[in-house]
Structure 1
Amino acid sequence: MSSNLRRRSSDDEQAGKNFHSGLPPGEKAPAVDQISQTLNEVTVRAMFNGVTIRFDLSDSSGIAELENNVIERLHLERESFSIKYRDDEDIWILIACDKDVRKCIEISRSLKKTSIMLLVEPPINHRKQ
Structure 2
Amino acid sequence: MRKIILVCALALALAGAECSPYLRLATIGAKSALNQIEDENIKATEVSCKDDIITYEYVFKNSQNIDWEAIADEYKKEFTSTMKELLMEDFCSDQNTLMVLQKAKSIVMNYRIPNGTLFSKVKLTAKDCEK
TM range, normalised to the smaller chain? Answer: under 0.3
Larger % of helix: which?
Answer: 2
TM-score, with length taken from structure 2: 0.27
TM-score, with length taken from structure 1: 0.27
Which has more radius of gyration?
Answer: 1
